[in-house]
């Protein structure tokens, strides 16, 4: 079963009345505290915001795993990814999402925005991430959408390490005046500052509910997906301007076998699709030097991720304007 289908089925299994008793009368709250260890809380906590504000860094910090790829380039995340944090008496299903783009230029970006919009529909809590270097137009449609979100919204003001404490507090005040957030947090996801205070506040808001996933499951995505993401992360790191944005990675073969010495070995064949013919020679580089470097860096990271030796084969293909091509987008997992 593919990840999206599994996600849908799990959603179906979710009881309709799973939400809500956190707002029940005081009596119930007292009981919850008293019988804390007999109650199981769970819910969907969706992390949204503009590109590059630190959403993926935050999710990785919250779940304690290097789940989503992170680069200093905007629009790194292209798909919604679950990061699941479980304890004996709780399960939080975080969603990392693509940065919301104000004016999409490609069908792909429209679809990325659409995947952000769906997170308003299934959230028990929204974490709206902005950062100290970011400015918003008060008429911004994303802000309008937040005002009418059905679920509570926490404001996460990230990258406070880049400004003085006074400036960060001043910015938080401006945000409070703009939107009635349930709570406001000033954090540095990169340094971990303020992140530990977030978890108890999230649990406070989440309703009583079942575990939606086995307690040892960390995500909804398969290993193959993460392998393609690692390759994409290296492309974003090694190439510049339009080139990394023109690339999509497709894992065509993933075979787990053994070395002669009996050690685990993954044989992986990946295709890198570029949206323009002129990008192919750039990706390959003079005498194949650039792609060799890409292959070597990606292989090292995949070996750490899989805890296995890796044989990685990369092929570059041209698929003209795939970012506006419905069939290609479907094949690359963008359709819903
Ligand atoms: N100084 C500073 N940099 C941060 C902080 N959090 C994240 N960053 C950096 O900001 C850049 C973007 O981080 P991401 O986590 O990829 O941001 P994102 O919101 O997921 O970006 P998209 O996937 O493009 O939407 C990276 O270079 C991070 O290292 C922070 O608290 N302080
Ligand atoms: Mg991201």
Residue 49 lies in a domain: yes
Q: Are residues 253 and 156 in the same domain?
A: no
C-alpha 270/C-alpha 76 separation (Å) is: 19
Residue 211 lies in a domain: no
Residue 36 lies in a domain: yes
C-alpha 113/C-alpha 132 separation (Å) is: 23
Q: Are residues 138 and 280 in the same domain?
A: no
Q: Are residues 66 and 194 in the same domain?
A: yes
Q: Are residues 262 and 184 in the same domain?
A: no
C-alpha 302/C-alpha 268 separation (Å) is: 10
For the chain, give the mean pLDDT. 90
Q: Are residues 200 and 252 in the same domain?
A: no
C-beta separation of 130 from 53 below 8 A? yes
72 CA to middle of ligand 1, Å? Answer: 6
C-alpha 189/C-alpha 156 separation (Å) is: 10
Q: Are residues 233 and 92 in the same domain?
A: no
Please choose, from the candidates 152, 140, 139, 138, the residue with its C-alpha nearest in 3D space to the C-alpha of residue 180: 152
Q: Are residues 154 and 279 in the same domain?
A: no
Residue 94 lies in a domain: yes
Q: Are residues 137 and 253 in the same domain?
A: no
Domain region containing 100: 3-205
> pTM for the whole thing?
0.89
Residue 213 lies in a domain: no
Of 27-41, 126-140, 147-161, 174-188, the poorest mean pLDDT is in: 27-41
* Structure-model confidence comparison of residues 67 and 27, the more confident one: 67
Predicted pLDDT of residue 27: 32
Mean pLDDT computed over 149-173: 98
- Atom number of ligand 1 nearest to Cα 60: 15
Q: Are residues 144 and 240 in the same domain?
A: no
Which of 48, 55, 56, 57 maximizes ligand 1 atoms within 8 Å of its Cβ, making it the mutation to test the pocket? 57
97 CA to middle of ligand 2, Å? Answer: 7
Q: Are residues 46 and 135 in the same domain?
A: yes
Q: Which residue has the tokens 């999409």?
A: 104
Alpha-carbon distances of 200 from 191, 196, 306, rounded to whole Å? 19, 8, 32
Residues of the chain above pLDDT 90, percent: 87
Report whether pLDDT(31) > 60: no
**Cα 247 to the center of its chain, rounded Å:** 19
Which of 49, 52, 129, 130 maximizes ligand 1 atoms within 8 Å of its Cβ, making it the mutation to test the pocket? 52
pLDDT digits (tens, 9 = 90+) for 307-335: 999 999 999 999 999 999 999 999 999 97
Of 15-29, 143-157, 214-228, the poorest mean pLDDT is in: 15-29
Report whether pLDDT(101) > 80: yes
315 CA to middle of ligand 2, Å? Answer: 26
Nearest CA to ligand 1 atom 11: 72
Ligand nearest to the CA of 163: 1
Report whether pLDDT(4) > 70: no
Q: Are residues 60 and 152 in the same domain?
A: yes
Residue 192: how many CB atoms within 10 A of its CB? Answer: 11
Residue 123 lies in a domain: yes
Report whether pLDDT(336) > 80: no
Question: Count of domains in the chain?
Answer: 2
Report whether pLDDT(64) > 90: yes
Ligand nearest to the CA of 50: 1
CATH number of domain containing 324: 3.30.300.20
Q: Are residues 12 and 154 in the same domain?
A: yes
Ligand nearest to the CA of 113: 1
Domain's final residue, options 155, 173, 205: 205
CATH number of domain containing 20: 3.40.50.300
Residue 208 DSSP one-character state = B
131 CA to middle of ligand 1, Å? Answer: 9
């Amino acid at each position: 079963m593919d990840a999206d289908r599994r996600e849908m089925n799990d959603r179906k299994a979710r009881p309709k009345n799973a939400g809500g008793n956190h707002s029940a009368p005081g009596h119930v709250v007292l009981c919850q505290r008293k019988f804390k260890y007999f109650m199981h809380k769970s819910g969907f906590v969706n992390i949204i915001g503009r590109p590059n504000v630190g959403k993926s860094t935050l999710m990785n910090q919250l779940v304690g795993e290097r789940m989503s790829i992170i680069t200093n380039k905007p629009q790194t995340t292209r798909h919604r990814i679950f990061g699941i944090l479980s304890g004996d008496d709780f399960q939080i299903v975080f969603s990392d999402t693509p940065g919301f783009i104000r004016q999409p230029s490609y069908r792909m970006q429209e679809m990325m925005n659409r995947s952000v919009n769906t997170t308003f529909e299934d959230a028990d809590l929204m974490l709206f991430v902005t950062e100290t270097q970011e400015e918003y137009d008060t008429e911004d449609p994303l802000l309008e959408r937040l005002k009418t979100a059905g679920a509570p919204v926490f404001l996460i003001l990230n990258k406070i390490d880049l400004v003085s404490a006074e400036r960060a507090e001043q910015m938080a005040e401006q945000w409070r005046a703009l939107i009635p957030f349930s709570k406001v947090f000033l954090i540095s996801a990169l340094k971990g500052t303020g992140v530990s205070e977030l978890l108890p506040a999230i649990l406070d808001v989440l309703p009583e509910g079942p575990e939606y996933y086995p307690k040892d499951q960390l995500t909804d995505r398969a290993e193959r997906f993460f392998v393609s993401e690692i390759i994409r992360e290296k492309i974003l790191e090694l190439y510049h301007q339009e080139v990394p944005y023109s690339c999509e990675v497709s894992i065509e073969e993933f075979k787990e076998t053994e070395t002669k010495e009996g050690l685990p070995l993954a044989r992986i064949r990946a295709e890198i699709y570029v949206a323009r013919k002129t990008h192919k020679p750039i990706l390959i580089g003079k005498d194949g030097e650039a792609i060799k470097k890409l292959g070597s860096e990606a292989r090292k990271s995949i070996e750490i991720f899989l805890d296995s030796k890796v044989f990685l084969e990369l092929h570059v293909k041209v698929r003209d304007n795939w970012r506006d091509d419905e069939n290609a987008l479907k094949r690359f997992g963008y359709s819903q």
